Each structure stands twice: as structure tokens, then as C-alpha cells.
Amino acid sequence: MLFERYREVIPDWNAFQESIQSRDPTTIRVRTGRISSSDLIVRLVDQGFLVEEIQGVPRFIRVLDGPFNVADTIEHWLGLFYVQQVSTGLAALALRPNPGEHILDLCAAPGGKTTQIADLMQDRGCLVAVDRNEGRLQALLGNLYRLAHTNVMVVSGDGLRLPETVVFDRVLVDAPCSAEGTLRRKSTRRVKESVKFRNSVPRRQEALLRKAIALTRPGGVVLYSTCTFAPEENEEVIDAVLKDEPVYLEKIDLQVPHDSGLTSFEGKSFDPSLERACRIYPHHLNSGGFFMARLRHRGTGAQTSESKGLVWDRASVLFPGEEKPLDHAIEVTKNGIERMRRHVSVGIDLESDFQWLLRGKDLWLHNCCDWPSSDWFEGDRCRVLSVGLRAMSPVFRDEMRPTNDVLRFLENYVSSVSYRLDAIEWKKLLEREDIPVSISDSGFIALKWKDHVLGRGLVHKGTLRTEIPGVRGRWLKKVFAITRSSETGSSD
């Protein structure tokens, strides 16, 4: 029987076995900085979806039924929610991030927990998201831009090689693991292969956890998590660091069914405090399997704020690693902000509400008031890929224009010329057809669907075309096709 080795430690074995026989229902997390849970529920119900809020896990909604895949809704395209297993959503809640803090996500891609942490931080402070897999980092970047998070610095590099010259208030180690808890979404072949994987992965898990502790300030928090049941990757890893690291386990206050961590398994005994860790089995939330342990950094008398590197660098107007004269960067940034002011209304102060920086010829908008010191970005240990959102890019004769991402992000403040299209007109535009418009002036324009800005268009000689990039444009075309098909079917 699958997972037989865990029979003695899973209290409700029959419920566990029954739960893993079927795929778990889709769950989504609301992007609360842009829409409320109640408003999103109304919009999904109006489209024919049957949904329910998940008790004990704020901002998570379970999709019970619907006319099509909820990932193909315009709300998902707009970044109003993120498709995420509810079990994995417990990690960010247990980390308990606060606005304005310095937080590190040591194994960040593809971004479910990263974006949830940013949401809980209300996009204030600095969240450094690190991963060594550049392919997965592209998925992370896409999610950050779609959800429009402005306080995240994305770093490509091995977390084990990060300099220890700054420390963080909180660090998440969502460690690579054998992924047994994802059984309901993956094949049993993956689980069987994980036995071999389990022989090597605990060494990296322990190394990452020790690195996280070294990067955490005295009194700070480290949250260790995996999506596996294996004690070798969970309790045994925690037990090892408790022996010689300046940390202790804290109890995690969860408002959902769960089991305590193990204090022994197959003849091995673990630190008694591991009872404070949490095990989530598939039957607890009708979701995946998950493990969490929350560690508090004790600190020592020798670890003062100065010796632990608590002074961060103030965010510069130059992208990390960018080599340009500072005066030039300040001038370009000032001119870019002035140009951006032509397109937004009162109610937002572009200079005081955001930080700005220059990368190449592009201007980026973000909310990181400070970031790790410059030695982080020297050599080949890590490389910054992104800070916030790319806001403005030069076009003809280096004239700056707002990007698609920033127009969506600032849609409530866009005051420049906009054009509202229906689904049929959008279909034509996305098929690269130019459509006639009664606008005399040529130039860029904000394109709307209902009350949302979807992106940027260009008016030239009385015709309009879209400037939404190819991948996003093809996805949007699919969304309108599915939505229109569903509406037509429901009216017959």
C-alpha cells in the first residue's frame, strides 16, 4: 500500500488513504491589494462558478464547479487571484510577515509563497526572492508582474552562496523535497522515484536551513517547510540544527485541522520540541500534504545590530549593478516621472508613493526603500533580475511611454486618453487586426475592457492596434474566446 511506512504516525489512516485516491479541488488565493474576497466571489459566481471560502485560511477560495477552468477567466489574467493549493498557503501565514520588514524567500520560484508574502506585506518593505533555477525564475517574474507586486527584488543565484553581510527579519525556506504531498496532482511514478531522491536531498535541506539561520537577525524568524511526509526531510533536518544553532521551535497557531510534528520515527528519536511543528495531511484540508516548523533566532551577546549587518543600503536610482553617472540617472528619472504625470490623475503621488530607478533606458517603479548592500551583487554569486515593475520604456526618439504592466497597476488613476472595447473588438485586435477609431491624435492609448485597463494601444491615422506583448496577448485572446463561448452556450 502506498505510504505504508507512515501508517503508524498518521492518526486517521483510512481518511488519508481515501483522500489520496482523487485529485484535490482547485483553490485560489485573492490578490487583496487589488480586489476583495467578496467582490471576486461575486464576479466568479456571475460567470457560473460554484465557490466557497475556506475557513481558517484567509483569502483562499475553493472552486467546486464551473463552466470552464477558472484559470481561463479574465480575473486570473488581470492578476486578481493566484491558483494555489491551500495547504501551501499556510507557510506565508505561519511566517507572519509585516509591512516594512526585510524578508528573504530562499527558494522562491515559481512564486506562490513569494507573492503571498508580498501581499501580506501590503507591498511595503523589501522581499528578496532567490532561486538558482533561471527557468523557474521566469515563471516567478511572470507571476509578480501579473499580480503587480512592487516590493520584490528577484535574485538569480544559489541561496547557499549568498553573502552574510546583511540579515533579515524573517526567512522562508520552502526547501526542495521529494514532493510526496503533491501525489494528488502528480503520478505515483514520481513518488516511487522520490525514494532514491530522499537519500541525497536532506543534506541540501539542512544546508539551506543553516544558511537561513545565518541570514536572520537575533530575534528573527525562520520558517522551514516542505511538501513531503518524509521525516528524513522534515523532523530529522530540524533536529540536526537544534543541536548546534541559536534557534528554538515556536508553536504555530493554525486555525485548520493538522497534526503535530513527530518526536520519533522508525527507531529514531527527535528533539521533544518538534511536537510544535505542524503536519498537514491531504484529508485535513482536502488539499496536498505539507510540513512546517517555525524557528526563532535566539541571538547572543556578541551579535549586535552592527556586527550582524542590520544596516541596509538605501535604494539607489540606479539598478543594482548598473554603471551610469548618478547625475544622468537622476535627470532621466525626473524626466520620466514628469512624463508619467501626464497620464495619471490626482490621488497618487508618483514621487512620494514610489521609488524609481534606471536600468538601461527603462524606468522601474518599486516600494523597496532599502535593499541588501552592494557586496551582494559583486562577483558571480547572485544577479538581480528585477525590482518592482518596469514602468516606462523609450520609443521613437527615446520618448518614454508607460508599460502595459504599469497601466494595469495604476488603472484607477489613469487619466490619459483611453478607449473601451467590447469582447468582439478585443478579439479583432488580438488577431492583429487594426480597427477604425474616431480619435484624431496619434499616439499611445490605454485600452479598456469594462472598468479594467488591459494594456496599451497605439492610434495612427484613425486606426487602433494593440501593443500587448505576444504571450500575454495570446493568453488574453484565449480568455475572450472561452468566455464568449461560455456566454453563448448559457444563453441557448
Please check whether residues 17 and 148 belong to one and the same domain: yes
Percentage of the chain modeled with pLDDT above 70: 93
Q: Span 280-300, mean pLDDT? A: 95
- Locus of grid cell 497620464: 343
Q: Is the pLDDT of residue 307 over 80?
A: no
Q: Span 52-70, mean pLDDT? A: 98
Number of domains in the chain: 3
Ranges assigned E (strand) in 305-353: 313-314
319, part of any domain: yes
Q: Which of 297, 324, 353 is the last residue of a domain?
A: 297
Q: Which of 235, 267, 297 is the last residue of a domain?
A: 297
CATH number at residue 9: 3.40.50.150
> 84-101, pLDDT tens digit by residue?
999 999 999 999 999 999
204-236: string of b/e by CB count within 10 Å (b at 16+)? bbbebbbbbbebbbbebbbbbbbbbbbbbbbbb
Q: Is the pLDDT of residue 245 over 80?
A: yes
**Could you tell me which residues come within 8 angstroms of residue 265 by beta carbon, excluding any fewer than 6 positions away?**
9, 231, 235
Q: Span 426-453, mean pLDDT? A: 90
**Residues with catalytic function:** 227
Phi-psi region of 14 (alpha: psi -120 to 50; beta: other; left: phi over 0): alpha
Please check whether residues 399 and 421 belong to one and the same domain: no
Please check whether residues 12 and 155 belong to one and the same domain: yes
Can you tell me the distance from the alpha carbon of 326 to that of 416, in angstroms, rounded to the nearest whole number?
31
Could you tell me the sign of the dihedral formed by the alpha carbons of 122, 223, 204, 186, in that order?
negative
> 157-216, pLDDT tens digit by residue?
999 999 998 999 999 999 999 999 998 886 555 555 556 676 789 999 999 999 999 999
Half-sphere exposure of 435 (CA within 13 A, CB side): 17
pLDDT number for residue 72: 97
Please check whether residues 165 and 179 belong to one and the same domain: yes
Residue span of the structural domain in which 490 resides: 417-492
177, part of any domain: yes
Q: How confident is the model at residue 296 (pLDDT cuts 50, 70, 90)?
A: very high
C-beta of residue 328 within 8 angstroms of C-beta of residue 379: no
Q: Span 222-233, mean pLDDT? A: 97
Neighbours of 84 (CB within 10 A): 20
Return the minimum-mean-pLDDT range out of 127-141, 180-194, 326-340, 404-418.
180-194
> 251-264, pLDDT tens digit by residue?
999 999 999 999 99
Radius of gyration of the chain (CA): 24
pLDDT number for residue 301: 43
Q: Which of 266, 297, 328 is the last residue of a domain?
A: 297
Please check whether residues 99 and 168 belong to one and the same domain: yes
Please check whether residues 266 and 342 belong to one and the same domain: no
